[in-house]
Amino acid sequence: MTFERELVQILELDFDFCTRTYGAAPCTASLSASTPRKCFNMAAGCQDIANFDKGTKTLRYARSQNGLPKGTLIYPALKSVSTSPIEINMGGLDRRTGPLGKAARVTVMLQDFSDNDVGLDPYALERRSGAAQTGPGYNPEEFGTHFGRLRARCPYFLGRAARVREGYAGQDIAAMPALHFIVTEWDGPDHSGAVRITLQDVLDQARGEKAVCPALSQGKLDRDIAAGGAAAFTLVPETIGDTYPAEGRASIGSEIVRFTRSGDAVTIFERAVDGSVAASHAADDLFQLCWRCEDAPIGDVARKLMVDYAGIADSRIPDAQWAAESDWMVGFHLTRTIPKPVSVMALLNELAQLNVTWWHDPLADEVRMGANRPLAPGEAAPSITDEFDILAGTLRREDLQDQRLTQIMFFHGVINSADSPTDTKNYRRATGDINDGGAALRHNQDRLFQVHCPWLGGGNDNVASAVVDRLSNRFEDIPVRLTFELDAARAADLNIGDLVTITTRAVQDDIGAPLPVQMQITFMEHAKPGHSVKMAAQSHGFGGRFSYFLSGPAPDYDAASDADRAFGCYLIDGADDAFDDGTPPYSFF
Amino acid sequence: MGGDGVIVTDSVLAATLAAAGTQNNPFLAHCNIGATGTVATGVGTELSAAVNAVSGGTYNFWACTPNLSDLATLNFSFASAKTINFIGIAAHNLGSIGAVVRVRYSLDAGATYINLAGGDITPLDDAAIGVRFPAVSATHWQIRAVVASGEDVVIGVALLSTVLDLPSRIYQGYTPPITQTRVELLSNLSEGGHILGTSYVRRGSQISAALKYLPAAFVRGTEWINFQRAFNQGRPIFWAWRPGKYGDIFYGVRGGNELVPTNSGPLDLMSATLDMAVYDDV
C-alpha cells in the first residue's frame, strides 16, 4: 500500500518483571512494619529477591493520535523520536568516523503524565482499598506521575531491550516492523515532565568503556622473577589460579611469556615470546592472561570478540550472511597476541581496515558483515532513478575528495606484540600500491593512505595485497556520495550495504545524459517513519568484469550462453583487449 | 473515517424538551460520578481493569471477554444513591464488534436492573454514545453489552453524569467535525513528477463553539461555575451541539484558551467560546 497510509509509531520498552504474586508461594514476602507496602514486581523493592522470577513487561508509548489499536495499552506520551542512524565506512577512509563507521543513536522524548497505575502496578486496585499496604488506601492517580514512579521502581534500565515500531493503522503491533535497540541513557522527568531516553544499537556494547579483550586478570606474582630463563611462582591471592587456563600466554609488564599452571602454581617455560623483550619482574606484578588467535578466519575472530567479550548474543549473528561475505575473504586468516585489555571496539576498528565492516541491522536485529567487493556474478543491483524513485527536492551530491587514494601503504608483520600497533617502526613488512589516479594527466596529485595491521602474525603478503588492491581499485577516482529520500514502500527491500544502480541527473556522462552508477548504500534513516526513508549511497568504483573460476567443463566463450559468461570467467589472449563480441576481458579479484 | 456519534434520548425527556423548544440546545456533561464509587466487571472475564473506564483517559480501558451467553457488563455501585441523567461512552469498540448496548440502573442493590432510555442501542460505529434520560437516583448502575460475535468489549470512557443544558442553541458559525479536522498529510512526488504515495496522521478534531446569549444568572449559577472551573482545569466532557437534530456528540478536553464568559452588552447577556480538542477515532 502506498496511498492513504495512516502512520503509527510505537516505542516499546522492556522491563524485568516478576511473574509471581506478592506473598503467594514461593514468594515469601508479607506486609510488616519493615515492609509496609507490597512491591511492584520489579527487582528494585523486591522483598524476596531469592524468589524473583524474571519475566518481561513491555510498556508501549505512542504519539497522541488516532489509529492506535484499541484493547492494547499504549500510553500517548511520545513526543518525538529522532535518529542518528548507522553509517558504514567501507575501507575505513571516512575520517569523520572510525573504520567501523557510525553507530545508531536514537533519542526519544516523552511527556510525563498522571496515570491510574493500573497498567504498571499489579496491585494498583489494592493500593486504593488499602490491601496493598499497612496504611490506608489511596488513589495512585493523585500521587506522582507515570515516569516518576517508573524510574523509581526500575532504576536498572541500562542495556534493556527497546524497539521503535513503525507501521500503519490496522496492523497488529507484532506485525509492525521494529527497529531494535538497547537503552543506554535515561534523563528525567524534569521540571516540565520531559523524559529523554537514548537508545543505541547492540554494537554499543563493544565500546571501550563497556567491553575489553582480554578481560583484566586478577592474579599477581608472589615473588620477584629474574629476566630470562624458566621461572616458577605462585599466583596470589589464593585460588585465583582457577581463573587461568592450564596452559597459555600471559603478559608481565611488557614481556609476553608462555606458561603452564596447576592450582596457583605457575611455570613459565618460554620467555619473551611474540617479539616481546625479556625483563625482570617484581612481586605483586600483574600476571595478565593474553588473548590470542592463530590462523583464524576473520569472521571467527570478529564473532569471538563480539560474543565472548562484548556480550552480543550469538543469535544476533546471521551465519548464512556472514558465510556468504566470507567467501570474498578466503585466506583472510588472522594471528595475533593481545597482551593487555583493549577496547573491543578498537579491535573491531582494526579488523575493519582489512576491507570488511560490521553493522547492526536494526530491523532484523542482526549484526551483519560486509566485505569491500564488487557485485557477485549473477547478483542484481536494484535500480533507483530520479525519474521514478527519488523524492523531489531531496537529492544531494557530495564529492569525497578526501577519500580518493593513489598510494596505499599497508604495514603488517608486527615485530613486538607488546608494543604499539600503530607505530610504523613496529612492523617488518609493507605492501603498497600506486595507481594512476595521481598521474599528471589525471588528478596530478597523490593521496596517501596508511594501514597498520597487527593481525597478520609475522606478515601475510597475500592478504595485504588483496586489501591494497581492493582499496586501490575502489578509490582510484573521487568517490561520489548521493543522499536522497525514497518512498517507504520503495525502500522496503533495501538495506545498508546493498549495492544499487542509481541513474540521476546529478551524475551525467560527457554528453549530459544521466549515467547509471553502481553505488553502495551506506546510510538509511527512517526520515518520516512509514512514509519516507533518507539514505546515502557511495559510488562503488570496482571497474572490471568479475566472474568465478569454473571448476568443471564449460563451453568455449563463443558457444557460451549469456548466463555462462556472467557466471564463469574466460581467459583471453594478452594481445587482445576484447572478446569477439566486443566485451572487455575479465578481472581478477 | 470519522463519526459523529449517537445520542439516545429517553422518550419522556424528548417530549419535555420538545415542549419547551429546547431539544436542540447544546448540552454537556462533565461530572465523572462513576469515579466516586466502585466500578467492576459484572459478567464476563475481565482482561483490563474496570477502573480504567472511569479514569478519564481514552488510552486505558476496560476490556472484557463476554460470557458464554455473549454478555459483558460493567457495574457501578455507590454507598449512597447518585442522581444521574446522562451516561456517555467513548473510545470503545462497540460498533466494530456489533454489540447491542443497554444502560440500566438498579433499585435493589443490583438484584434486578431497569433499562434506561430507548432500550437497546446498536451503534453503527465506534463514535461516542450519549444516553439522556430523566434524572434517576440509584446506588447501582450498569452498562450491558451483548456481543453475538463473542469478541472482547473495550470501553475507554464510561461517564455517569448530570447534564448541563445550555439556555440557547447555536444558530450559525459552528463547524461540526464530520470527519477528523486535524489530519496531517504527507505526499511523495519523484524528481520526475510521478506521484509515489501519500501518508497521513489523524489527531482527532478541534471544535470551537461560540456560546451566545447566556443569561448572567446562568453563568453565575453553581452548575456553570462548576463546569467552567473543571473545564479550565482540564477535566474531559461530553459535548453535543444540536442534540435534537444530529447525533453529534464528542468527548474531549479544553483545547485552547480558557473558557471565560464575556459580557455582550444588551440585557447583561454573556458569551463564551468553548475551544476543545476531541477524541475522534472511528
Of A388, A393, A488, the CB nearest to B194: A388
Give the separation between CA A163 and CA A9, rounded to whole angstroms.
10
- Please write the tens of the pLDDT for every residue from A86-99: 888 877 777 777 77
Alpha helix (H) residue ranges in A234-385: 298-304, 319-326, 344-352
Mutate which of B47, B62, B147, B191 to test chain A, going by most A C-beta atoms within 10 A?
B191
Per-residue model confidence as pLDDT tens digits over A324-366 = 999 889 889 999 999 999 999 999 999 998 989 999 999 999 9
Is the CB of A532 less than 8 angstroms away from the CB of B186? yes
Distance from CA of A540 to the nearest CA of B (A): 23
- On the question of pLDDT at B89 being above 80, the answer is yes
Answer whether A266's CB lies under 8 Å from A223's CB. no
Residues of chain B with Cβ-Cβ distance to A111 below 8 Å are none
pLDDT over threshold 50, residue B224 = yes
Which distant-in-sequence residues (6+ apart) come within 8 Å of B99 by Cβ? Answer: B122, B123, B145, B146, B147, B153
Interface of B with A in 107-126 (CB under 8 A): 126
CB contact under 8 A, B199 and A6: yes
Residue A166: pLDDT band with limits 50, 70, 90: very high
pLDDT at A545: 67
Residues 356-385 of A with CB under 8 A from B: 385
The residues spanned by each domain of chain B are: 6-165, 183-278
Q: Does A126 touch chain B (CB under 8 A)?
A: no
Mean pLDDT of B214-226: 94
pLDDT at B3 > cutoff 60: no
Q: Is B280 on the interface with A (CB under 8 A)?
A: yes
Q: Do B203 and A490 touch (CB under 8 A)?
A: no
CB contact under 8 A, B51 and A125: yes
Residue of chain B minimizing CA distance to A141: B55
**CA atoms in the 13 A half-sphere facing the CB of B282:** 27
**Phi-psi region for residue B56, left (φ > 0), alpha (ψ -120 to 50) or beta?**
left
Cell 577519500 belongs to which residue? A403
Q: Assess B192–A contact: CB distance below 8 Å, yes or no.
A: yes
Residues 6+ apart with CB under 8 A from B191: A386, A387, A390, A391, A392, A393, A395, A504, A505
Instruction: pLDDT band for A404, please (50, 70, 90 cuts).
Output: confident
Q: Is the Cβ pair A71, B152 closer than 8 Å? A: yes
Residue B51 DSSP class: G
The mean pLDDT of A545-565, rounded to a whole number, is: 75
| Peptide linkage before A189 cis (omega within 30 of 0) | yes
CB < 8 Å from B in window 498-537 of A? 504-505, 528, 530-532
Q: What is the pLDDT of residue B1?
A: 38
DSSP assigned state of A520: E
Decide: A453 and A410 in contact? Cβ < 8 Å.
yes
pLDDT band of B119, cuts 50, 70, 90: confident
Quickly tell me which residue has 514468594 as its cell. A27
**A487/B196 touch (CB, cutoff 8 Å), yes or no:** yes
Residue A1 pLDDT > 60: no
**Summary count for chain A: helices (H), strands (E):** 8, 28
**Chain segment B38-57, per-residue pLDDT in tens:** 999 999 999 999 999 999 99
Q: Do B55 and A141 touch (CB under 8 A)?
A: yes
Chain B contact set for A395 (CB, 8 A) = 191
Q: Taking Cα atoms as reference points, which of A455, A260, A423, A439 lies closest to residue A354?
A: A455
Q: What is the mean pLDDT of residues A218-226?
A: 95
pLDDT band at A225 (very low <50, low <70, confident <90, very high): very high
Per-residue pLDDT at A544: 65
Q: How far is B217 from chain A (nearest CA, A)?
A: 34
Q: What is the mean pLDDT of residues A238-266?
A: 96
Pairs across A and B, CB distance < 8 A? 123
**C-alpha closest to that of B164 among B193, B132, B210:** B132
- A298 by DSSP, 3-state: which? helix
Q: What is the distance between the alpha carbons of residues A548 and A565, in angstroms, rounded to a whole number?
A: 10
**Distance in Å, alpha carbon of A72 to nearest chain B alpha carbon:** 8
pLDDT in tens, A469-508: 888 888 888 889 999 999 999 999 999 989 999 999 999 9
Tell me if B198 and A390 make a contact (CB, 8 A cut-off): no
Q: Which of A386, A487, A532 to mutate to test the interface with B (most CBs of B within 10 A)?
A: A487
Mean pLDDT for the stretch of residues A306-323: 95
Q: Is B52 on the interface with A (CB under 8 A)?
A: yes
Q: With beta carbons under 8 A apart, name residues in chain B contacting A119.
A: 60
Q: Identify all chain B residues contacting A386, using CB atoms and an 8 Å cutoff.
A: 190-192
With helix as H, strand as E and coil as C, how does A202-263 read? HHHHHCCCCCEECCCCCCEECCCECCCCCEEEEEECCCHHHHCCCEEEEEECCEEEEEEEEC
What is the least distance, in Å, from the CA of A530 to any CA of chain B? 8
Residue A386 corresponds to which cell in the numbers above? 530520479
B21 CB contacts (<8 Å, ≥6 apart)? none
The whole-number pLDDT of residue A568 equals 76
Contact residues, chain B, for A6 at CB < 8 Å: 199-202
Residue B201 DSSP SS3: strand
Q: Determine the pLDDT at residue B218.
A: 94
What is the distance between the alpha carbons of residues A364 and A348, in angstroms, rounded to a whole number?
A: 21
Neighboring chain A residues of B52 at a CB cutoff of 8 Å: 116, 118
Task: Using a pLDDT cut of 90, give the percent of chain A over it.
Answer: 68
Q: A79 and chain B: CB distance < 8 Å anywhere? A: no
Cα gap A563→A371, rounded to integer Å: 25
What pLDDT was estimated at residue B2? 43
Kindly report the average pLDDT of chain B as a whole number.
92
Mutate to test the interface with A, among B183, B189, B196 (most CBs of A within 10 A): B196
CA B257 to chain A, closest CA, distance in angstroms equals 20
Residues in CB range of B167: below 8 A, 6 or more apart: B25, B213, B214, B215, B218
Q: What pLDDT, in 10s, does the model give residues A81-129?
A: 998 888 888 777 777 777 778 888 999 999 999 999 999 999 999 999 9
Cell 510525563 belongs to residue: A112
- Note whether B198 contacts A5, CB cutoff 8 Å: yes
Work out the number of other CB atoms within 10 angstroms of the CB of residue A323.
11
Beta-carbon separation of A385 and B192 below 8 A: yes
Put simply, whether B59 touches A (Cβ < 8 Å) is yes
A426 DSSP β-pair partners = none
Write out chain B residues lying below 8 Å of A71, CB-based.
47-48, 61, 63, 93, 152, 154
What is the per-residue pLDDT across B127-161, written as a single tens digit (0 to 9) for each?
Answer: 999 999 999 999 999 999 999 999 999 999 999 99
Rounded Cα–Cα distance for residues A17 and A40 (Å): 9
Give percent of chain A above pLDDT 70: 97
The reply to whether CATH 2.60.120.260 applies to domain B6-165 is: yes
Of B54, B195, B46, B179, nearest in space to A487 by CA: B195
Strand partners, A273: none
**A289 interfacial to chain B (CB closer than 8 Å):** no
ipTM of the complex: 0.86
Please say whether the beta carbons of B274 and B230 come within 8 A: no
Alpha helices in A484-580 (DSSP H): 488-491, 562-567
Mean pLDDT of chain A: 90
pLDDT at A543 (0 to 100): 61
Q: Does A63 touch chain B (CB under 8 A)?
A: yes
Q: A45: closest CA among A104, A132, A158, A164?
A: A132
Per-residue pLDDT tens digits for A29-49: 999 999 999 999 999 999 999
Full 3-state SS string of A453-502: CCCECCCCHHHHHHHHHHHHHHCCCCCEEEEEEEEHHHHCCCCCCCEEEE
- What pLDDT is recorded for position A2? 75
Nearest 5°: phi and psi at B41? -75, 130
Q: Which residue of B has its CA nearest to A395?
A: B191
Of the pLDDT bands very low, low, confident and very high (cuts 50, 70, 90), residue A577 is confident
What cell numbers appear for B112 in the block? 434486578
Polymer length in residues for chain A:
589
Residue A79 · residue A25 · CB < 8 Å: no
Interval A150-160 mean pLDDT? 92
Assess B41–A contact: CB distance below 8 Å, yes or no. Answer: no
Partners of residue B72 in chain A, C-beta under 8 Å: none
Whether residues A3 and B198 touch (CB distance < 8 A) is answered with yes
The whole-angstrom separation of Cα B236 and Cα B230 is: 8
Q: Do A488 and B154 touch (CB under 8 A)?
A: no
Give the 3-state DSSP-derived string for B83-150, with helices as H, strands as E and coil as C: EEEEEEEEEECCCCCCEEEEEEEECCCCCCCEECCCCCECCCCCCCEEEEEEEEEEEEEEEEEEECCC
pLDDT at A180 over 50: yes
Q: Check pLDDT > 80 for residue A563.
A: no
Q: Nearest CA to CA, how far is B235 from chain A (Å)? A: 13
**Residues B201, A6: C-beta atoms closer than 8 Å:** yes
C-alpha cell at A395: 537529492
Q: Measure in Å the smallest separation between the Cα of A387 and chain B Cα atoms.
A: 4
- CB-based contact A221:A285 (threshold 8 Å): yes
